[in-house]
Amino acid sequence: MPTPFRSSLILAVVVVLTGIGAGLGGMLLALLLHGIQHLAYGYSLDSLVSHQSFLWGVTAASPQRRLLVLVVCGLVAGLGWWTIYRYGRPLVSIKQAVSDKMPIMPPKTTLAHAVLQIITVALGSPLGREVAPREVGALAASWLSQRARLEPPMHRLIVACGAGAGLAAVYNMPLGGAVFVLEVLVGAFSWPAAVIALATSAIGASVAWIGLGAESQYVVPQFVLSPTLITWAVVCGPVFGLAAYGFTRLTGKARANAARGWRLPVLSLINFTIIGGLAMLLPQILGNGKGPAQLGFDNELSIGLAALLLLVKVLITTSSLRAGAEGGLLTPGLANGALLAIILGGAWSLLWPGVPLGAFAIIGAAAFLASSMSMPLTAIVLVAEFTRIEHDFLVPIILAVVGSMCVSKLCQRWENAG
């Protein structure tokens, strides 16, 4: 029977190693993403981490190259996931891994699943890349916890914290990773859980600095807070909740009916070839949505282009899930919120001008993300860490998130009652 001191020491070692493992995993996946992006579209070939963005790279590439890369993406996605489902062990999601039954994540299948997500997002898939580092972090945490023979409640917490640390590492958001663990994966607050989540996420983020640096995800101009902006946040917050509810229903049905068997490679190739054809005219649609979001924050999108990009992004995100592709919806949701905010903010500015569209975009990104993923606290912290906005700007963000969540939950209640 181990002494309390020895048990605490073992737990501390597991916490530190979990943070390191998740940080290394997230860093390597991010470097793999950058490397494939640079090779596929022919930019920044001398550096894995450069100041030339993915949007810059795909825009500079020829239209024919974009189409060819997306055809390759369709082949890789279709054959890759068909192989995983055909020959791999059944996948275990992170939420399943932290449930009371505690099923073990199969190492080889999980790693293949994570790497395939990174490859397809790098090639231009519209889905998010955040699930992959979470899976790798959770896998590392599960292995360490098993070796340390931790008790089931602590094992579940360590696995959740590994997932949060992976998220923190790839996006450089140590606080957001910890809040994600407590709000989404654990669903409750306790001091031990908070301390372990904060420690693993901070370690994971700092380890990833070795290869990725400590830069923010988005560079935004300095916006001035105004009563007009606060009023807009209160009025339009519910609209984001309604839109996010519709988006969640749409993507949920697509995932539930995702192609399997021989249909998966066929539909995948068709889907990504169509996306490649669209990208010949609209290179901004490629990738997880970071490009359009950055354009929105920089005040570089017209209302018409924002509306077109929003429509196309929602359609290709849904069609990719339906075709059997895998990936997250964090960055896609953030981008959708930014684009919708530009439309709503542009209409608002016709009556009350003076607010840059980028200010609306930041608020809308948080409001839509909060409702689409049911994580209001995480969304607020995540957008704050992503953009490093002024502290006072949190006021309209929080007000918009509150309105968005209220309407989204009300829609869910009506659906359940019906």
The three-state (H, E, C) secondary structure of 237-306, written as one string:
HHHHHHHHHHHHHHHHHHHHCCCCCCHHHHHHHHHHHHHHHHHCCCHHHCCCCHHHHHHHHCCCCCHHHH
Residue 330 lies in a domain: yes
The CA distance from 157 to 178, in Å, is 12
pLDDT at 189: 87
Beta-bridged to residue 128, according to DSSP, are 328
pLDDT at 215: 83
Residue 327 token pair: 């990936």
Domain co-membership, 169 together with 271: no
Domain co-membership, 29 together with 52: yes
CA angle 368, 124, 70 (to 5 degrees): 135
pLDDT at 1: 56
Domain co-membership, 196 together with 239: no
Domain co-membership, 125 together with 269: no
Domain co-membership, 56 together with 97: yes
Q: Are 379 and 366 in contact (CB under 8 A)?
A: yes
Q: Say what the pTM is.
A: 0.95
Domain co-membership, 251 together with 197: no
Domain that holds residue 335: 227-417
Q: If you write DSSP's letter for every residue of 312-380 in order, what string do you get?
A: HHHHHHHHHHHTT---BSHHHHHHHHHHHHHHHHHHHHHHS--S-HHHHHHHHHHHHHHHHTT-HHHHH
Task: Look at residues 178, 213, 206, 203 and name the one whose alpha carbon lies nearest to residue 193.
Answer: 178
Domain co-membership, 42 together with 122: yes
Q: Are 19 and 199 in contact (CB under 8 A)?
A: yes
Whichever domain contains 193, its CATH number is 1.10.3080.10
Task: Look at residues 390, 311, 285, 252 and name the one whose alpha carbon lies nearest to residue 70.
Answer: 285
pLDDT at 214: 86
Residue range 261-312, pLDDT digits in tens: 999 999 999 999 999 999 999 999 999 999 999 999 999 999 999 999 999 9
Q: Are 230 and 395 in contact (CB under 8 A)?
A: yes
pLDDT at 418: 67
Domain co-membership, 314 together with 397: yes
Residue 217 lies in a domain: no
Where a domain ends, among 162, 185, 212?
212
- The number of distinct structural domains making up the chain is 2
The CA distance from 105 to 231, in Å, is 47
Domain co-membership, 88 together with 165: yes
pLDDT at 48: 79
pLDDT at 6: 85
Weakly modelled stretches of the chain, pLDDT under 50: none
Beta-bridged to residue 308, according to DSSP, are none
Domain co-membership, 201 together with 275: no
